Each structure stands twice: as C-alpha cells, then as structure tokens.
Amino acid sequence: MKQGIILFLLLCLPSLSGYAFAESNIESRIRTLEETLKKQEETIKAQQKMINEMKEQIKKNEIATIPEGKEISTEIKKETKATGLFGGSALSNPNISLVLNTYAYSSNLTTDELKNRGISGYTTEGLDRRNGFNLDSAELAFYAPVDPYFNLYATIPVTEDGVEIEEAYFVTTALPQGNQIKAGKFKSGFGRLNSQHSHVWDFVDNPLPYRAFISSDDSGIDEKGIQYTYIPPLPFYTILGVEVLQGENKTLFGSDAAGGAHAYTAFAKASLDISDNSTILFGPSVITGKTKTDTIQTNSDFTGDTTLYGLEFTYKWKPTKYQGFKVQSEYLYRTQFGNLTDLNPGGIMKRLDRNQDGLYVQGVYLWNCWEFGVRYDTLSLFKDDYILNGVKQDQGRRPWRITGMADYTFSEFSLLRLQYNHDESDVTGKPNDELFLQLIFTIGAHPAHQF
C-alpha cells in the first residue's frame, strides 16, 4: 500500500515539473514541489502511524487475521517436488541395493574336517567354509511402499549355488496406532542376532548357541509365516510380538514335522535411554514347535517337540560418529523331547530328552573408523542334559570359543574386517583356529538398519 502511494507520487512528479517548466516560473515550481513534499511527508507519517498501530496489535496478539498482503499461501506445493524421505521417486522402480559379502579364510583344519565338524550332543551340522577365498553372497534387496497400506521388502541373496529368497514380506502401515502385521517369508523376531541380516553383525559368523540351537550357517530362523507386533502406550519403548511360522528350520523343526504350520513364537523387547547417548534393549523370546530332524546324531532321525527360550541384552553408548561402545549378549535354553531312531541296520528307537543351554557375550569398541571387538561363547553353561531312555549321556567337557575382531569402515558403505576364532566346540576333535578377512560392500538404496 505504502509502496503504491510512493510509486504514484513518483509518477506524478515529472508531469508536475513539466507543468512548472511551461510556466517557466521557478518560484511557483518550488512552491509546488514543497507542497508535494509536505503532502508526501504527511502520507508517510500517516502510513507509519498505521504500521505502528498494526504492529502493536500483532504484538498484543489481538488480531487473528494476517496483515494485508500477507495471506498465507494456502497451497502446500505438492506438485513435482520429490520428498526427501525415501530419496527420489520409487514409483517407476523400487529401491534396489546389492550387498556383497565375501571373505578369505584360513584354518588349521581341512575343508573336509570343517564340513564334518559338528558339536557333539548338539548338532551334526558342520561348517561350510573353504580355506582360501569364499563368496558368502551378493544379496539383492528391494523395497518400496506398495500403496498407502503396505510396504514391501524382498531380500534375494545370489550365491554360487543359485538364487534364494531369503526374505519377501509386506508390513502394514495403516493399521490402528501401535499395531503392525508382517507376512510372507521373513526373519523371526526371536532374539537379537536372528532378526538382523548377517552383514550388520559385529562378527563374521554366528555365535555357538545360534549354531547349536538355530542354524549352522547365518540363516537363522527365517520362515514363511505371519507376525503380529504391538507397541503399547507405555512411558518407555516396549514391543510385543507373536508369530505363526511354517517351521521349516532344519535344526529346530524340519519341514516334515507336521502337516501345516507348526512353529509358534512370542517375544517382548523393552528399551530405555539411560542417557542421551546410551541405550539398553532387552527382553525374552520363545519359539516352540514340532520337530523332525536328522541333525542330532549321524544316521538318526528324531521326531518330537522343541522349545527354545532366549534372553537378550544390548547396551550401546555412542556419543559421536567416531566413538562408541556396545555390549551384547544372548542366553538360549532349549528343551526337546521325542524319539530318536537309529537308522543303522539293527538300530532301535530311543526316548531322547535334551535340556541344554548356551551363551555369548560380546563387546565392541568404536574409535574413529576402527572397531575392535571380543566375543566369548559357550554351551552347556548351566544345563547339559542329553538323556537317552532315562540315562544321562556324558558329553565330555564344555564347548567354548573365543574371538577377537578388528574392522575398518572406509565409509558407511564399505567395511574390511579381520577376525580370529579359537574354537573348542568340538570336544572330541581338534580345536579350530580360524582367520577371516571379510569385505562387505553396499551399493544402491539400502533400507536403514534397526537399532
């Protein structure tokens, strides 16, 4: 408004002066100019007064309306601007990433000895590693929102043996506050390491309790099924979950153990921020189901029931990008009962009861681009019952292992890791001294990792 008036006056000025020139009377010209100036001054004063009044009003918060010419732009520009949340457009293509996980390996044992290296009393499954170069996988991951109701994820590791579907599941995004359903094939929420992809683990391999109770390799409880989780409205973070799973995990259940889905999971996790920089996460898990497996003793079949209990604890302190400390531990306890049938000629069926446990504790210190970690894992910690027809079998001394690790992060997309294990898990055989040099690379748009 003020600007308009000034502009108008400015426009008037030349015509006024033109008039004065015509008169060729300088005095009258000056007078006219003076009058104009006076008028201008008055206008400006009046304007200023108005502005001051308006300011006063605004300050008193008395007016709810916006001053003239200051209408809030009502349109929120939705047009073509990409939102910065998922990075660009995921309409034409889902977000795609590839994680290459590869390692060089050296052990005092031969590749055959490694393959047959079970943990007696626990599992006959050996280690699938070769002295020399190993390609764990090149893992493709896809994710994108499906529509306003679902997000879809698929993890497809490509190995030298072929293509697998490790995970392919949807999660709901529109259920009432606190509720979520995940279904398809996915890593179970049981425990801590299990739900993580192995490339985010702090160590190359899984700890002994996982090897003994869940799976010899890093696949874990990775099942077709459905999961329901709920975050209750509590003052601290808690998540409660239940799952119904097909139960095809070879170590725990086996695909032929029952006609339909035959494994059930329940878990609860709670988390507290002890300070701005340190957080703990802890909780129990349980998984139970029907079992039919041949991994307990060579040339034997087992049918029965298995329940695995887990307790997890994680403490993380991370004040800056370049400094941090993490302690993580899980305790697993497995109870199993059923019939063990010796498949050798003349073999008989015996009643088997197993109540066994295991624990791992690991700590990792972060310093600049380096991480240094130690891990201790063991089995038969408090319980070591392997009972055949009511007679407890002696399994010898306690299996254990100690690990040292150092890794270097070039950027958040590349990592070089050196790890040494001294493994005394095979109580009848030799210790396994193994050295890994692992490289992990990520390209593309990889989904953010869980805490």
Partner 1 sequence: MKKLLITILIMFTFATPALARVNIVATLPWIGSLANDLGKDKVNIKILVKPYQDPHQIEAKPSMILAARDADMLIYNGLDLEIGYLPLIIESSRNPKIQPGQRGNLDCSQFINVIEKHETADRSMGDVHPLGNPHYHLAAQNILGVARGMTQALCNLDQEQASFYKSNLAFFEATLKEKQKQWAQISLKGKRFVAYHRFFEYLAQEFGFQIVGYVEEKPGIPPSAGYIEKLIEDMKRLKPDAIITTTYYGKDEINALSQKIGVKSIVLPHDVGSAPGVNDWFSLMDTVLKSLQ
- What are the residues binding partner 1 (CB under 8 A)? 55, 58-59, 61, 63-67, 70, 72-74, 76-78, 81-88, 145, 148, 151, 171, 173-180, 229-231, 233-234, 236-237, 239, 269, 271-273, 276, 279, 281, 318, 320-321, 411, 413, 443, 447-451
At its nearest, how many Å lie between partner 1 and the CB of residue 315? 13
At its nearest, how many Å lie between partner 1 and the CB of residue 333? 25
At its nearest, how many Å lie between partner 1 and the CB of residue 410? 9
Residue among 287, 300, 299, 206 at smallest CA distance from 245: 287
- Residue 59 or 397 having the CB closest to partner 1: 59
d(CA 260, CA 241): 21
d(CA 432, CA 401): 9
Please name the residues in contact with 257: beta carbons below 8 A apart, sequence gap of 6 or more.
Answer: 247, 289, 290, 291, 292, 293, 303
Rg, Å, the chain Cα set:
35
- Residue 348 or 448 having the CB closest to partner 1: 448
- Residue 230 or 309 having the CB closest to partner 1: 230
Q: Is 419 exposed, middle or buried (0-12, 13-18, 19+ CB in 10 A)?
A: buried
Q: Output the CA torsion 336→337→343→347 (10° steps).
A: 140
At its nearest, how many Å lie between partner 1 and the CB of residue 190? 17
- Residue 148 or 345 having the CB closest to partner 1: 148
- Residue 22 or 85 having the CB closest to partner 1: 85
d(CA 269, CA 284): 7
Residue 290 contacts residue 262 (beta carbons within 8 Å): yes
- Residue 184 or 338 having the CB closest to partner 1: 184
- Residue 130 or 449 having the CB closest to partner 1: 449
At its nearest, how many Å lie between partner 1 and the CB of residue 191? 16
d(CA 191, CA 214): 11
d(CA 445, CA 98): 8
At its nearest, how many Å lie between partner 1 and the CB of residue 432? 34
3-class secondary-structure state, position 3:
helix
At its nearest, how many Å lie between partner 1 and the CB of residue 113? 41
